Amino acid sequence: MAHKKIDLNQREIVGALRSHPGVSCFSIASIGKGVPDLVVGAFGKTFLCEIKGPQGKLRPSQVEFQNSWRGGGIIVLRSIDEVEAFFKQVSLWSVEGV
């Protein structure tokens, strides 16, 4: 079986996610089949996150998975700046009770 290609920035992004207190992050990238790369727990909520390089595009299997997923939206993260923006948005949701 071929190994799934991991984006070069995934280690950096996972490190940034895990550096925040109270955050858990687990890689599920090996599942493949369009399933996102990470499960992230933050502020009492669970998020699915896809890691992409700066110019990376979703593969057809990823688009299909996102279109069929009935849970919350899937967050695409490309950089540390996007990780910080994600945390700002999620912390606002937790304050607002979303």
Q: Which residue has the higher pLDDT, 1 or 86?
A: 86
pLDDT-derived band of residue 2, with 50, 70 and 90 as boundaries? Answer: very low
> What pTM, to 2 d.p., does this model score?
0.85
Per-residue pLDDT tens for 14-71? Answer: 999 999 988 999 999 999 999 999 999 988 899 999 999 999 999 999 999 999 999 9
* pLDDT for residue 83: 95
Q: Is the pLDDT of residue 3 over 60?
A: no
* pLDDT for residue 1: 41
Sequential DSSP letters for the chain: -PPPPPPTTHHHHHHHHHTSTT-EEEE-GGG-TT--SEEEEETTEEEEEEE--TT----HHHHHHHHH--SSPEEEE-SHHHHHHHHHHHHHHHHHT-
* pLDDT for residue 22: 86
As assigned by CATH, the class of the 10-96 domain is alpha beta
